[in-house]
């Protein structure tokens, strides 16, 4: 079946519902700012890595409160900025829980863990296949794009997902 913008938006609504459940289950809160962590080291510092001697080296309160970037929400798959911010918070939380950095392999491993968390949160859904495909496009697919375009990320994430999910190789995308 061909991917359309409407199908991706529907999957994004499911992703947001799952992210809401994950935030509730894990007590994740977030604030969108222009100064959110943008490197692996900064993300770890934001969770106070090692400062409190807590399990896994995190201060659990700081781990669960994520500061996410407030920019570039106008061309995402999500219907609102808030949904995009929530998705960023969950993704960063999974990075911290798994200890996967911002390398290509770290992003792919984080994507895999994020999908498993979605499956755990969405046990009452009959079919998560579209939501999972879109998360994989959003994370692993964009890593492929980044690697083949000299460190750049797609400006229009919805268009990227449409192309990627319809079989266009990221290296062939403009």
Residue with tokens 């964009």: 142
Could you give the percent of the chain with pLDDT greater than 90? 76
pLDDT band at 72 (very low <50, low <70, confident <90, very high): confident
**Separation of alpha carbons 55 and 53, rounded Å:** 7
Nearest to 151 by CA among 109, 101, 112, 104: 104
Residue-range domain boundaries for the chain: 5-169
**Separation of alpha carbons 23 and 96, rounded Å:** 15
What is the pTM for the complete model shown?
Answer: 0.91
Tell me the pLDDT tens digit for each residue of 146-164. 999 999 999 999 999 999 9
| Distances from the Cα of 37 to the Cα of 125, 162, 167, angstroms | 33, 28, 32
């Amino acid at each position: 079946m061909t991917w359309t913008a409407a199908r991706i938006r529907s999957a994004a609504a499911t992703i947001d519902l799952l992210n809401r459940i994950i935030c509730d289950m894990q007590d994740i809160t977030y604030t969108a700012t222009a100064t959110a962590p943008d490197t692996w080291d900064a993300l770890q510092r934001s969770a106070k890595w090692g400062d409190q001697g807590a399990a896994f080296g995190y201060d659990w309160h700081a781990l669960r409160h994520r500061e996410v970037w407030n920019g570039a929400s106008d061309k995402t798959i999500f219907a609102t900025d808030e949904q995009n911010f929530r998705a960023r918070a969950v993704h960063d939380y999974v990075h911290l829980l798994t200890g996967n950095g911002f390398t290509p392999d770290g992003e792919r491993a984080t994507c895999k863990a994020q999908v498993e968390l979605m499956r755990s949160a969405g046990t009452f859904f009959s079919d998560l296949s579209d939501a999972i495909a879109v998360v994989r496009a959003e994370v692993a697919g964009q890593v492929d794009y980044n690697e083949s375009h000299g460190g750049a990320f797609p400006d229009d994430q919805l268009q990227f997902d449409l192309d990627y999910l319809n079989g266009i190789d990221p290296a062939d995308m403009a």
